[in-house]
Amino acid sequence: MRLRSDARGSLAAALAFVALAACTSSSSSGTATISSPPPSSTTAASPSGGPSGGQAVGSTLNALAPAGGSFLVHGAYPTEPSRCKHAKPPRLLARYPGKLTIARAGDGTLGVTVTLPFESYLEGLAEVPSSWPMAAMEAQAIAARSYALAETGWHGPAGGTLANPICATTSCQVYGGIPVPFLNTTPRWYAAVHRTAGQVLMFGDRPADTVYFSTSNGHTYGNDQVFGSDPLPYLRPVPEHDDGASPESHWTVPIPFADLARFLHAGGNWPAARITSATVSGSSVTLSGGGAHETLPLSTVRDDVNAWSECLAPSRYPPDGWNGVQLAETIPSSWMTASATPSALVIRGRGWGHGVGMVQWGAYGKAKRGLSAARILAYYYGGLTPTAYPEPGLIHVRVASGLTSLTLRPSGTGGSIDGARIGRGPVVITGGSTITVAGAGPAA
């Protein structure tokens, strides 16, 4: 369930932000790990002002941010060969409050789990732009709070610690920490979280599983239709007429045959030959060219196009939507039809996300029409309305895995690594056969 971060402060940025968060999953999943050989266990070079060498600390360490402060975290992933044009290695850049638990995996890479107050976790969600109408943000805050409690199985007393961690990706809810850079609209999102503190949607005596997604195809779906789970009375299909501001509300994507051949060949579904014609029949397309003929499901075409278009032709894909804002993916959803011209396959469709629960762009539209957060939520979740419910004190969030190294920069003095106070300088943490720490000089 997610929208892309509104890092640019314009309507285009707000639209893109929603794109990041296409949908919450109905089941928990950890952050994806990049598979690679174990990184070198060579001691990290000491940053200026730190000790002259690294210190091995075993397989786990805990870094505590200064009181009221945070760590700016830079993370590096393994360098791997890539067929993509202008490929850049992935990097982690985030600012996290609370405690960071850094653990070494069996392959020598590092994973990071943040432990922080539950309400601070909600403040750090990157699900909708902080420039949105307050009622839409309040509805998002309540849905996110309810989802987190349901996903983690929370049933403890107020102020307790959630035993089960939650992931930080679209498989759960997108947690980005404190925005980098901090936006002038961010306090509006914080206000939405604070104004709804303790408010949860309940089903019976438990928090409801309030999944949500970005943009519809004109209606939502029941949880049983999409996830295959037993039907829930608060996750029933409803019409959607208010998400038209989304760039994914309607889209048309022409894919020239030359590009289509490249993308399908990269995905292993077309030989090294030109495509000269396409014939669409229902949910499949028959392609011909260079003596080859293949009939493929449109779902396979979508998978290969989304996997390879931005990689092999980043200047053209994903294309812009109806309002000039780049689409979240080249083919944003499976709610699509196809047709062929003499030179291209043309995909038309609506929506983005799994289709169950609250439509985030629909909440935006309803808030613009004057609906309150409670009315927005009741529309999407079978009449459920916010109820006071005891919140946990702390939550564990798995924010990264598969890293080769991390650099932590505390926001001030008073931080610590495994109980030993550190100064303001950077701390370099490297994986390998053991975790090595360098630059953790004592506090001044």
pLDDT (tens place) for every residue of the chain, 444 residues total: 544 333 333 334 444 444 444 456 554 333 333 223 223 333 332 222 333 356 777 799 999 999 999 999 999 999 888 889 888 888 999 999 999 999 999 999 999 999 999 999 999 999 999 999 999 999 999 999 999 999 999 988 899 989 999 999 999 999 999 999 999 999 999 999 999 999 999 999 999 999 999 999 999 999 999 999 999 999 999 999 999 999 999 999 999 999 999 999 999 999 999 999 999 999 999 999 999 999 999 999 999 999 999 999 999 999 999 999 999 999 999 999 999 999 999 999 999 999 999 999 999 999 999 999 999 999 999 999 999 999 999 999 999 999 999 999 999 999 999 999 999 889 999 999 999 999 866 554
Instruction: Tell me which of 299, 319, 349 is where a domain ends.
Output: 349
pLDDT in the model for residue 80 = 87
**Could you tell me if 117 and 178 lie in one domain?**
yes
For residue 219, give the 3-state DSSP assignment: strand
> Is 77 domain-assigned?
yes
Range of the domain at 332: 251-349
**Could you tell me if 314 and 401 lie in one domain?**
no
> Is 6 domain-assigned?
no
**Could you tell me if 289 and 317 lie in one domain?**
yes
- C-alpha distances out from residue 423 to 45, 261, 375, 411, Å: 17, 55, 49, 10
**Could you tell me if 341 and 404 lie in one domain?**
no
pLDDT in the model for residue 85 = 85
**149 dihedral zone (left: phi>0; alpha: psi -120 to 50; beta):** alpha
**Could you tell me if 49 and 175 lie in one domain?**
yes
> Is 443 domain-assigned?
no
Please, is 86 exposed, middle or buried when counting C-beta atoms within 10 Å of its C-beta (0-12, 13-18, 19+)? exposed
**Could you tell me if 280 and 144 lie in one domain?**
no
> Is 318 domain-assigned?
yes
Note whether 215 and 329 are within 8 A (CB): no
**Could you tell me if 91 and 166 lie in one domain?**
yes
> Is 444 domain-assigned?
no
Nearest to 266 by CA among 311, 319, 329, 299: 311
C-alpha 216/C-alpha 244 separation (Å) is: 9
pLDDT in the model for residue 46 = 29
C-alpha 245/C-alpha 330 separation (Å) is: 18
Note whether 243 and 361 are within 8 A (CB): yes
Nearest to 99 by CA among 119, 114, 111: 114
pLDDT in the model for residue 54 = 65
Per DSSP, helices labelled H in 87-185 are 118-123, 134-152
Instruction: Report residue 44 CA to chain centroid gap.
Output: 31
Instruction: Report residue 8 CA to chain centroid gap.
Output: 18
**Could you tell me if 209 and 330 lie in one domain?**
no
For 112, the enclosing helix (H) or strand (E) is strand 110-117
C-alpha 408/C-alpha 424 separation (Å) is: 10
Instruction: Tell me which of 349, 370, 386 is where a domain ends.
Output: 349
C-alpha 217/C-alpha 199 separation (Å) is: 29
For residue 417, give the 3-state DSSP assignment: strand
First to last CA, the chain: 44
**Could you tell me if 224 and 91 lie in one domain?**
yes
C-alpha 368/C-alpha 246 separation (Å) is: 13
For the CA atoms of the chain, what is the radius of gyration?
Answer: 23
> Is 177 domain-assigned?
yes
> Is 93 domain-assigned?
yes
Residues in Cβ contact with 315 at an 8 Å cutoff, skipping those fewer than 6 apart: none
Instruction: Tell me which of 282, 314, 349 is where a domain ends.
Output: 349
Q: Which residues of 5-21 are buried (b: 16+ CB within 10 A; e: fewer)?
A: bbbeeeebbbbbbbbbb
pLDDT in the model for residue 439 = 85
For residue 35, give the 3-state DSSP assignment: coil
Place of tokens 């295959």: 228
Tell me the backbone φ, ψ of residue 143, rounded to 5 degrees. -65, -40
pLDDT in the model for residue 138 = 98
Residues in Cβ contact with 265 at an 8 Å cutoff, skipping those fewer than 6 apart: 271, 272
C-alpha 34/C-alpha 22 separation (Å) is: 22
Tell me the backbone φ, ψ of residue 189, rounded to 5 degrees. -65, -45
C-alpha 227/C-alpha 231 separation (Å) is: 10
Please, is 266 exposed, middle or buried when counting C-beta atoms within 10 Å of its C-beta (0-12, 13-18, 19+)? middle
The pair of three-digit structure tokens given for residue 359, joined into one six-digit string: 């439509």
pLDDT in the model for residue 323 = 95
**Could you tell me if 334 and 370 lie in one domain?**
no
> Is 5 domain-assigned?
no
**Could you tell me if 92 and 19 lie in one domain?**
yes
If one counts the domains in the chain, the total is 2
Q: Specify the length of the chain in residues.
A: 444
**Could you tell me if 19 and 158 lie in one domain?**
yes
Return the beta strands (E) in 52-109 as ranges.
55-56, 60-64, 70-76, 91-97, 99-104
DSSP code at position 50 = S
